[in-house]
Structure 1
Amino acid sequence: MLRTAGFTALAAPFAGSLLTACSSKSTPSAKPNTTVTVTSYGGSYNDQLTKTLLKPFENKTGIRSTLLANTSLAGLKAQVRSGDVQWDLVELTAPEYLQAVDEGLLEKFDYSIISDKGLPSYARAEYGIKYLSFLFVMAWDQTHIPDARAPRNWEQFLDKAKYPTKRSVYGQLSDSSILEAARLAEGVPFDKIYPLDVDAALRYLARHPGRDKLIYHTANQEPIQQLTSGEVALSTSFNNRINAARKDGAKLNFTASNGVVAGDYFVVPKGARNKEAAFRLMDFMSNDADAGADFDRTTNLTLANTRALAKLPREVADTLPTSPKLADTILVRDDAWWAKNLKQTEQRFKLWQAGS
């Protein structure tokens, strides 16, 4: 799937011609004491977001950021419908973004404030920017599973004979690719994963490894805690979380092979109090080359900022989720399928977890 037009758009930022891209327009000066309230997922990622993007943005514009860790579509919806909107910039998964558009919850993005010169074509949308690409991966505790014995594909990860231990898997299907992992484990090729056969995926998980070998996490920092505490030796996670833990000394590792590349949007809720400041922040994130390159190097995620990608050394660019080097080994998540099928799939998954 990464060889399709969709991945061509993802991979395009790595082209050498980007080195000559024109410079970003200057960010307008801010009103004194302006604050933009941003919601994301917390943990090490919020620390990275603050260091590489939010503080440099404040230094450049004077716009301060309050970063929260309680982002959710439900919270955004409640604020918009009550008329009491506290958030200005909200991170949503791609399926959640499409749902929010359908429900009329978002402000249109103002591209007279946000220059799209630095945005790759896949990232620009009417009501948001798909600002981030990441990998859903299999990870392990090296103190219990040395790299030489670690899983190299989802079939091995889910094999209870090979690893007679519990695994932690992400239970929030808006962001989790565990059902895709089950289909890949069964040998389904990348280009046949969608439309996703949910019942077949659940049947596979019931056999390999079985309900008794699965525990669930619902926050992105949980698998790091579970792996480092010894609660589990195997877990799904996201590539940036494992990299951050490794930099802090944790004996964890992961493989990008068989990973699932997906992305999150930043959106502005309808009625946001500081939407202009939010748009200015998005302009900075999409066009400031130095801050964006620092973000990519620090997180090993791909920021939707072509100027930043053009500044990265090849050894860094080749490790990012959108690198053409990974094209034959990873699956691109089908956002449209998930947006259409998320609610009923979540209901089916919960029933399955309960043994139905």
Structure 2
Amino acid sequence: MSRRSILRAAGASTLAAPLAGGLLTACSTKSTPSAKPNTTVTVTSYGGSYNDQLTKTLLKPFEKKSGVRSSLLANTSLAGLKAQVQSGDVQWDLVELTAPEYLQALDEGLLEKLDYGIINDKGLPSYAKADYGIKYLSFLFVMAWDQKHIPDAQAPKNWEQFLDQGRYKGKRSVYAQLSDSSILEAARLASGVPFDKVYPLDVDAALNYLAQHPGRDKLIYHTANQEPIQQLTSGEVALSTSFNNRISAARKDGARLNFTARNSVVAGDYFVVPKGARNKEAAFRLLDFMSNDAAAGADFIQTTNLTLANTAALAKLPSAVADSLPTSPKLAHSILVRDDAWWAKNLKATEQRFKLWQAGS
């Protein structure tokens, strides 16, 4: 989550094309190959309910089918992957990274080349496959609200309304981690910039807009995915940025929250194998299972409301679920596809600029 050159060539355009074209329906019939007995693949991700869902829908079914056990950790990071590879003591076998982190890891030569003799690529949409990783899921960065304070009929329909202090008097919570957050893109959209003109991102213009709408003092920040749910349900804020799967999970648990998929920003995470991984073959087999097993993939999508890069699973979804995913043709013209290559090149400088802006500089 070198391969940077591949994604730069493909970039956001390769993701945008299949999204605009709707659901892909290709299906692979290749079964997951058997593995050596007593093999354990160490996977690292983001923890919380997401890790529970990943275990239930993908890792346990994979173990049952292949005999490969999974040890799932919650401390994924590019820094951790880099430290392991550089020390020669690689403990992780499969690592989840954001797209900008993936491109950085690729550029620094930290990744194993994937074996597509083991991973059947027929199950992968074209935007997801690359030599050194798989963009295995996509999600939406959305505007969310507390229905107790903002009824759906009065909820924001676009980012201009979301950030309009005259329309909504309270504070907004926004995600502070720019490797995932699309608040700067949201500010550009709010100022009237069309989707196809957002990149290259004018960071100063975005920050200037936020300084006026809703105002620097009207923003609070969250750094973990569960924080906006807590902030919304506690009444601390009535509006927050979030991810579609987090709001959907909270609604299933009874929270009176909602979001709109329109005018959201599509982002995604990669699974990669660190260079020198001890169980890389088992990691490849797990990636094959994730990409091709229709039943497990459909279960993952319906449980998480995240889009798995598994065309057979996408084809099995009921329309009510399929229509809410980034791959839906109904959303093709009302969502922005995040430019991973731009962020990989500009992430560090933009993070520094954002922190200075937050501090009032």
Query: Whole-Å Cα distance in 2 between the matches of residues 226 and 176 of structure 1?
Result: 17
Unpaired runs of 5+ residues, structure 2, are: 1-11
Q: CA deviation at 1:6?
A: 4.0
Query: Whole-Å Cα distance in 2 between the matches of residues 258 and 73 of structure 1?
Result: 29
- List aligned pairs for 1:104-119, cutoff 5 A: 104-119=109-124
Query: Whole-Å Cα distance in 1 between the matches of residues 19 and 331 of structure 2?
Result: 12
In structure 1, the residue matched to 2:240 is: 235
**Does the 8 A contact of 1:44 with 1:241 survive in 2?**
no
AA paired with 2:239? Answer: L
In structure 2, the residue matched to 1:289 is: 294
In structure 1, the residue matched to 2:5 is: none
AA paired with 2:324? Answer: T
In structure 2, the residue matched to 1:160 is: 165
Q: CA deviation at 1:227?
A: 1.4
AA paired with 2:17? Answer: T
AA paired with 1:222? Answer: E
AA paired with 2:16? Answer: F
Whether 2:23 is the aligned partner of 1:14: answer yes
Query: Whole-Å Cα distance in 1 between the matches of residues 191 and 297 of structure 2?
Result: 38
Give the structure-1-normalised TM-score.
Answer: 0.95
Please provide the CA RMSD for this pair.
1.5
Secondary structure in 1 aligned to 2:121? coil
In structure 2, the residue matched to 1:218 is: 223
How many residue pairs match? The answer is: 350
Whether 2:267 is the aligned partner of 1:262: answer yes
AA paired with 2:91? Answer: Q
Distance 1:66 1:306, change over 3 A: same
AA paired with 1:104? Answer: G
Counterpart of 2:339 (choices 301, 320, 334) is 334
**Does the 8 A contact of 1:76 with 1:269 survive in 2?**
yes
Query: Whole-Å Cα distance in 1 between the matches of residues 355 and 259 of structure 2?
Result: 27
Q: CA deviation at 1:11?
A: 5.0
Distance 1:37 1:11, change over 3 A: farther
**Does the 8 A contact of 2:77 with 2:97 survive in 1?**
yes
Counterpart of 1:195 (choices 196, 200, 208) is 200
Query: Whole-Å Cα distance in 2 between the matches of residues 22 and 146 of structure 1?
Result: 44
In structure 2, the residue matched to 1:50 is: 55
In structure 1, the residue matched to 2:4 is: none
Q: CA deviation at 1:87?
A: 1.3
Counterpart of 1:120 (choices 119, 125, 130) is 125
In structure 1, the residue matched to 2:321 is: 316
**Does the 8 A contact of 2:21 with 2:329 survive in 1?**
no
Counterpart of 1:26 (choices 26, 31, 35) is 31
Q: CA deviation at 1:5?
A: 5.9
In structure 1, the residue matched to 2:146 is: 141
Q: CA deviation at 1:246?
A: 0.6
Identity %: 84
Query: Whole-Å Cα distance in 1 between the matches of residues 229 and 83 of structure 2?
Result: 30
Deviations 1:22-46 (A, max 9, x none): 41x2212222221111111122222
AA paired with 1:355? Answer: G
AA paired with 2:217? Answer: D
